[in-house]
């Protein structure tokens, strides 16, 4: 039994965060057993000079691109061709793949991220290595090999059957191998995936209740290209719908330029949208319609989208969420929710992670805020989000085990 005295900041909803000062958390094995103001056992770890939050959840990140964060280019396709694709090729070398995976996961837990939904490069061994690294470190991760079988650089383009077979083999090897690891089928986006590949993915994933992740309506040039490549469909989202890759476990990265008909398809299929504000700003992709998506009733969450995003810090993502709205004010409470409990809900894991509650896994982070005793709940939250460079993360736990 691990008992910790601390000060808890906990998301309740998208507009409510509770603050529980001088509170004891009891952790038994992987679970939070109790949360109380008093405790009989005086043998506890004293983190009363720290703030405790739920582990942060990054619902869309490209592990194999970790080293090219901040590599400037203001156009998505030029950035992919000149920065991203050449970098992903490097992970064909197992030693390079091991180095980037190790550095990525170490940086993630140091930044307070306990759950990541990950694209690796289109090489099976690189994805294997990412899983091995995550298992060894003890982080919670949903990982997939990027799939691309058409309109791609020759050095990355896969054979359709091989792409699908290798992804299935990775799924069978790693999905739920431990309580912390799952597989996600990862067709990069429609322009580089054939209809045949997407249909195969959809059929297998639905039959086996597997996650799917892809990109949707990130960039206007991308949308125009999709229209030319798939002329028989009314819109971008309908392609994914008709080919069977939408559903409750489908995560759609970006979703900036969606019309009402597309939003209706996403809602009816119970698919999820992943908002990547830092990446959208860096690549000048557009402004995410935060208020419209929220009112639509579609579940969504926040993500770093590194290396399109310049940082893997979810605190930075929260800040950019607040900054990157022209006509709607995102409150600190909202930003915090969509990086924690909202992220858990998108993954169907709100009963396991996302907030600090009895019975949930102990995915928790301890951090120090300068002069934190001076601040109330709202002020602490603002400090975390807007001046996060002054916040020191001192410990990160996943399922009750210290990983940083």
Strand-strand pairing, 45-54 and 364-368:
antiparallel
Does residue 10 register a pLDDT over 80? yes
The Cα diameter of the chain in Å comes to 69
Residue 150 structure tokens: 């058409």
**Each residue's pLDDT tens digit, 225-261:** 999 999 999 999 999 999 999 999 999 999 999 999 9
Q: Indicate if 32 and 81 belong to the same structural domain.
A: no
Domain holding 373: CATH number?
A: 2.30.40.10
Record the tokens describing residue 219, joined without a space. 């960039």
Question: Which pLDDT value is given to residue 347?
Answer: 98
Confidence of residue 73 (pLDDT cuts 50, 70, 90): confident
| Residue 403 vs residue 372, higher pLDDT | 403
Handedness of CA 241, 269, 308, 105 (dihedral sign): negative
Tell me, yes or no, whether 387 and 239 share the same domain.
Answer: no
Q: What pLDDT does 72 receive?
A: 87
**For position 109, what pLDDT does the model report?**
98
Give me the pLDDT at residue 139, please.
Answer: 98
What pLDDT score does 243 carry? 98
Is residue 282 within 8 A of residue 320, CB to CB? The reply is: no
Adjacency order of strands within the sheet including 16-28: 31-36, 16-28, 2-13, 45-54, 364-368, 392-398, 401-402
- Last residue in a domain, options 255, 289, 312: 312
- For residue 99, give the nearest of 116, 110, 87, 111 by alpha carbon: 87
Question: Do 28 and 80 have their domain in common?
Answer: no
Residue 324 lies in a domain: no
**Residue 74 pLDDT more than 90?**
no
In-domain check, residue 334: no
- 92 pLDDT above the threshold of 80: yes
327 within a domain of the structure (yes/no): no
Q: Same domain, yes or no, for 199 and 95? A: yes
Both 129 and 175 in one domain: the answer is yes
Contact 108, 118 (CB under 8 A): no
Domain-embedded: residue 331: no
pLDDT-based confidence at 41, cuts 50/70/90?
Answer: confident
pTM above 0.85? yes
Q: Are residues 70 and 211 in the same domain?
A: yes
Same domain, 261 and 115: yes
Single out the residue of 65, 71, 170 nearest to residue 120, CA to CA.
65
Look at the chain and report how many structural domains it folds into: 2
Judged against a pLDDT cut of 80, whether residue 112 lies above it is answered with yes
Report yes or no on 329 lying in a domain. no
Work out the burial of residue 162: count CB atoms within 10 Å of its CB; fewer than 13 is exposed, 13-18 middle, 19 or more buried.
exposed
Statement to judge: residues 297 and 213 lie in one domain: yes
Last residue of a domain, one of 258, 286, 312: 312
**Is the pLDDT at 4 greater than 80, yes or no?**
yes
Q: Is residue 345 part of a domain?
A: no
**Mean pLDDT over each residue of the chain, to the nearest integer:** 97
pLDDT-based confidence at residue 75 (cuts at 50, 70, 90): confident
For residues 29-43, give the mean pLDDT. 90
The whole domain housing 393 covers: 2-54+355-402
Q: Tell me whether residue 286 is in a domain.
A: yes
125-177 pLDDT, tens digit each? 999 999 999 999 999 999 999 999 999 999 999 999 999 999 999 999 999 99
The CATH number assigned to the domain holding 248 equals: 3.20.20.140
Residue 40 and residue 97 in one domain: no
Domain-located, residue 172:
yes
From 312, 346, 364, give the residue that closes a domain. Answer: 312
Verify that 72 and 33 share a domain, yes or no.
Answer: no
In which band, very low, low, confident or very high, does the pLDDT at 53 lie, cut at 50, 70 and 90?
A: very high
Q: Which residues contact 337 (CB under 8 A, 6 or more apart)?
A: 11, 13, 14, 15, 17
Q: Is 179 found in the same domain as 152?
A: yes
| 72 shares a domain with 33 | no
Dihedrals φ, ψ of 174, to 5°? -110, -25
């Amino acid at each position: 039994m691990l008992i910790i005295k601390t000060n808890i900041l906990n998301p309740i909803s998208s507009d409510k965060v509770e603050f529980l000062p001088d509170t004891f958390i009891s952790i038994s094995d992987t679970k939070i057993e109790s949360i109380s103001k008093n405790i009989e056992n005086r043998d506890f770890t004293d983190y009363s000079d720290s703030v405790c939050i739920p582990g942060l959840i990054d619902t869309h990140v490209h592990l194999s691109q970790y080293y090219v964060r901040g590599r400037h280019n203001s156009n998505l396709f030029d950035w992919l061709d000149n920065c991203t694709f050449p970098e992903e090729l490097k992970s064909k070398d197992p030693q390079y793949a091991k180095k980037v995976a190790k550095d990525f996961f170490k940086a993630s837990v140091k930044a307070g991220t306990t759950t990541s939904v990950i694209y690796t490069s289109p090489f099976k061994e690189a994805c294997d290595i990412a899983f091995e690294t995550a298992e060894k470190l003890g982080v919670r991760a949903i990982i997939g090999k990027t799939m691309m079988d058409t309109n791609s650089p020759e050095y990355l383009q896969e054979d359709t059957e091989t792409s699908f077979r290798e992804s299935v083999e990775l799924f069978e090897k790693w999905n739920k191998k431990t309580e912390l690891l799952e597989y996600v089928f990862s067709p990069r986006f429609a322009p580089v995936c054939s209809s045949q590949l997407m249909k195969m993915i959809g059929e297998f994933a639905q039959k086996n209740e597997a996650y799917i992740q892809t990109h949707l309506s990130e960039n206007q040039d991308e949308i125009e290209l999709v229209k030319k490549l798939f002329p028989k469909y009314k819109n971008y989202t309908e392609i994914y719908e008709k080919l069977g890759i939408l559903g409750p476990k489908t995560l759609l990265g970006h979703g900036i330029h969606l019309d009402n008909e597309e939003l209706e398809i996403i809602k009816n299929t119970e698919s999820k949208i992943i908002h990547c504000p830092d990446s959208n700003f860096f690549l000048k992709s557009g402004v995410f319609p935060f208020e419209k998506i929220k009112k639509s009733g579609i579940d969504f969450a926040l993500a770093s989208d590194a290396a399109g995003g310049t940082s893997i810090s979810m605190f930075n993502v929260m800040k950019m969420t607040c900054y990157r709205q022209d006509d709607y004010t995102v409150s600190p409470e909202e930003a915090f929710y969509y990086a924690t409990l909202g992220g858990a809900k998108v993954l169907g894991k709100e009963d396991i992670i996302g907030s600090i509650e009895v019975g949930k896994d102990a995915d928790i982070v301890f951090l120090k805020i300068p002069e934190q005793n001076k601040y109330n709940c709202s002020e602490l939250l603002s400090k975390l989000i807007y001046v996060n460079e002054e916040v020191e993360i001192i410990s990160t736990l996943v399922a009750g085990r210290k990983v940083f």
